[in-house]
Structure 1
Amino acid sequence: MGPEDFHRACADLAQAAINENPAFSDLMPQVMGMSQQVSPADLSAALPLIAEALPKAQPSLGGWLAVLSGSWVESGAAAEPVGLPLVERAGEVFAEAVAFARAWKEATGGTPPDMQDDGPSQEIVDVLVPRLADASVNAMLAWFSVPQFALAMTTVLQTSAMVRGAVPDRERRAEVAGRLVEYHPHMGYVQGVLRVLEGERLLVLDRASKRGWTVQIAGIGDNFQLHVLLGGALLGRPGCMPGEPLPPEWVAWFTDQDPDGRPIVSSPWNLVDGHGAWIYNEGVPADIPALNGTRVVVLDPPSYTRHFPAGRRFPMMDATLTVEGVHHPEDLADWWPHIAPDRGQ
């Protein structure tokens, strides 16, 4: 088998998905097997075929194409050829699934069928028809396809900063994903990765010295990670914060390496936003409100020592935090009057 055979089989699979051809069920395992015998470059070359089919295939077949593309990305294929088409199609599927859940609750007053343990049926369609009419079948297929699209979407978004940065309407998409968390917990990861800030600049201020720094962040999945990477960038560094530098392995564990086991680390400060509210480690950088158009992080001495396990929320996603500018107290004279004092918890 050569790359041409693989490409031809992928084209047949994509066309079968578009046409709802019964041959899809035979072609899918065939292509999955062939994909293990070709190079990542061959997988990348075939991804545009999958990307073209995703918006045209009905949700249940598109879901398997999504899983296939995610597995190829995990095997080294470039995520970019399929990234945005996958995100767009997944968004449509998630919106239809939300409509399914709403219609089901209105019709029955009960919990919708389990996305993974149950499956499509005429009985389900009959429940939906009075509320969704001709959209009932597609909504049902979307509902049972959510797990496949969720899995593929988290893989693709974790592995490509370019795709993450290009996704439009991220907060709206994250809000839709959040509505499905109660039915499929993995949607919490979809919601989380959609809210990751890519190339965002933060103004970091030290209340005690009145100094500050502009930092750019990318690929940071939660504020545990933000807190440690701020410590790695600022503590004990020339022109930054006094103190003992964080151990380099701590920084690595929150950047691009996985720790052995779950070692415990600690954070060096209280993080407070520009309005005086605490920035909780359990939150995400996107939660930090803007002040005069900029997200502001104020460093205060810790009120108590915070200990937590090392590691990234999204282990396939590398993070960066880069100090881009150092600001002396006189540079920030116009900022400090707008910075609220710590209002506590």
Structure 2
Amino acid sequence: MSSTTDRFIDAVFDFERAVHAQDPAAQEQAHREMHRLYESATPPELAQGGKLLAGVLTDVQPGPQANIAVLIGACVEGGADPVACAPSVLGNLAKSLDSATEFAQLWAAAEVGDAPDPEQVELDPELFEYFGFAPTLSWWTLDDWHRAALAMLSHKEVRQKFGNSGREIIRERHDALGEISDRWDKCFGYALIVLDDEPVIVLHRESGTGYAMRMTGIGDNFQLHTLLADALIGGGHIPGAAPAAEAVAMCRDMPGMVHTTGSFNLVAPDGSWIWNEGTPSDIPVVDGTRLLVLDPPPYQRSWPAGRFFPNMVGDLTFERVLTADETAAWFRHVSPAKDPSED
């Protein structure tokens, strides 16, 4: 007889057997049990359960498949191996993106108005007949697939395993859907372009100094801005008011957010502004390395400092101060800063 602490994994085993037996009724019953027992599951159960569910995800019935992917993501957040769980989640997500795009194309061709918002409109079974089962279901479950994929992509090991090329394939499909619908998801889109171990040269225009740094797991430029101020102002390299230690910790790995005030204007080498609302991937590559210029802020900016992705560890590593000759060489690529209205 199972103990009260391993009932969740028993339900996972039941679900796995039902999938292999192609028994829809048994799948549904085990599915309900897994959700009922998830909150009381132990970390070892979640670790084992996530891997087992990932192993059968592709064979799960289309109806509950996206919800099972979300459960795998929850197991990963509870300690399951993200590298082991990610391939099946991201692979099936890619298929769902293709099917959702097909639904959007068919809906547009039907000329019946705006496509339905799954958060506002109940799924009408008649749509399966007109637009196909897989496209319609993918349209309605896309948010679940995004949620499951974010749980995987929040881990550096997964991003490294899939690499830029693997994520680019999914990004192309996500962008294709966004071009013909309003289903482009900002959080998911940003997760697909997170940089890891990415070198960046940072030039401080006022002092004429330069610095070599390295970015990892930074979700947006608000987060990057705070870490830059800590490295340069907090590190004593340039004058200014450094962010609080709590704000810096929250931009790395501490939960929560806290108010902070901006220290710079982030600028591209051509003088155009790099907005805090964007991502580090907006920083242009010059001679093989990203090149960022820091100008004085034209007005005071403040925001809640923290991580764009709450479960993604972020970091900005300060490597060294550039020599005067190195700095001068990089500054030769830099144009005067300009007003954003010129862009």
Say whether the fold is shared (TM-score over 0.5).
yes
Q: Which residue of 2 aligns with 1:133?
A: none
Q: Which residue of 2 aligns with 1:305?
A: 300
2:128 to 125, 129, 132: 125
Q: 1:126 to 1:32 in 2, by over 3 A?
A: closer
Which ranges in structure 2 are unaligned for 5 or more consecutive residues? Answer: none
2:243 to 223, 246, 269: 246
Question: What is the aligned residue count?
Answer: 332
2:317 to 322, 329, 337: 322
TM-score (norm 1): 0.86
Q: CA deviation at 1:229?
A: 0.6
SS in 1 for 2:211: strand
Structure 1 stretches of at least 4 aligned residues deviating more than 4 Å after TM superposition:
2-8, 180-185
Q: Is 1:43 aligned with 2:38?
A: no
**Contact 1:115/1:184 (8 A) holds in 2:** no
SS in 1 for 2:95: helix
Q: CA deviation at 1:250?
A: 2.2
**Contact 1:120/1:141 (8 A) holds in 2:** no
Q: Which residue of 2 aligns with 1:75?
A: 78
Work out the CA distance in 1 between the residues paired with 2:319 and 2:66: 41
**Contact 2:270/2:334 (8 A) holds in 1:** yes
**Contact 1:264/1:308 (8 A) holds in 2:** yes
SS in 2 for 1:54: helix
**Contact 2:93/2:149 (8 A) holds in 1:** yes
**Amino acid in structure 2 at the alignment position of 1:188:** K
Q: CA deviation at 1:184?
A: 5.1
Work out the CA distance in 2 between the residues paired with 1:39 and 1:236: 41
**Contact 1:274/1:297 (8 A) holds in 2:** yes
Q: CA deviation at 1:209?
A: 3.2
SS in 1 for 2:281: helix
Work out the CA distance in 1 between the residues paired with 2:58 and 2:335: 48
Q: Which residue of 1 aligns with 2:150?
A: 154
Deviates more, 1:297-306 or 1:328-337: 328-337
Q: Which residue of 1 aligns with 2:198?
A: 200
TM-score (norm 2): 0.86
Q: Which residue of 1 aligns with 2:216?
A: 218
Q: Which residue of 1 aligns with 2:336?
A: 341
- Summarize deviations over 1:168-216 as a string: whole Å, max 9, x none: 443442353353596557x322112222212211111122333211211
SS in 2 for 1:55: helix
1:106 to 94, 109, 115: 109
Q: What RMSD, in angstroms, separates the aligned Cα atoms of the two structures?
A: 2.6
Q: Is 1:142 aligned with 2:138?
A: yes
**Amino acid in structure 1 at the alignment position of 2:253:** D
Of all paired residues, the percent bearing the same amino acid is 32
Work out the CA distance in 2 between the residues paired with 1:307 and 1:284: 17
Q: CA deviation at 1:296?
A: 0.9
Q: CA deviation at 1:227?
A: 0.5
SS in 2 for 1:304: coil
Q: CA deviation at 1:234?
A: 1.0
Work out the CA distance in 2 between the residues paired with 1:143 and 1:75: 28
Work out the CA distance in 1 between the residues paired with 2:210 and 2:144: 44
**Contact 2:247/2:258 (8 A) holds in 1:** no
Q: 1:12 to 1:276 in 2, by over 3 A?
A: same
**Contact 1:222/1:285 (8 A) holds in 2:** yes
Work out the CA distance in 1 between the residues paired with 2:320 and 2:90: 34
